[in-house]
Amino acid sequence: MDSNFRFLPTEEELVHYLRKKKQVDHIIPEIDISNYEPWDVPGLYAGLFTEPDSPYQDMFFFSPRVYKYIDNNYARTNSATARGFWKTTGKERVIKARGSIGRKRTLIFYEGNKTNWVMHEYSLIEDEANPPTPKLAHQRDFVLCCLKKIQDKKDTEEPE
């Protein structure tokens, strides 16, 4: 990929990409985030993500939803990895473009304590209207994720 290429989509565009997943697989990779710690993700697709010193540190990928359990049309996703878990923080937001088209939720990674890893997860509203049933649990739906590491303020302050 051209080193001058910048992938900085709007939230509306991200929901559109999720809708058209198969057409953008060559731009946005598929990663099962439950199989990796967040700090391992940048190394999975070397060259696809930005350089370490770049101001653009967002890493985009599709991730299958892995369900912990499904009961009476209620599905709970598995947010655990081998060394930690993703915890939803804040209020889920609706993304609108000529009506409600998707949802965005923010998750923070915990490895015992809160870390600096943040993930924004985008889902389609139509997928939520039809939650998986136990009979269809093997079928996976996808979310589009934007992963980034927030720098500590003490790491970015100029020395005196």
Write out pLDDT tens, residues 73-109.
656 676 888 999 999 999 999 998 888 888 999 999 9
pLDDT value of residue 135: 44
Q: pLDDT band for position 139 (50/70/90)?
A: very low
Separation in Å, CA 152 to CA 34, 54, 135? 25, 16, 45
pLDDT value of residue 122: 92
Domain covering 11-44+57-151, topology = 2.170.150
pLDDT value of residue 127: 53
Task: Read off the tokens for 14.
Answer: 């991200």
103 neighbors 92 (Cβ within 8 angstroms): yes
pLDDT value of residue 51: 54
CA distance 32 to 58: 17
CA distance 118 to 107: 6
Q: What is the mean pLDDT of residues 7-34?
A: 77
pLDDT value of residue 71: 65
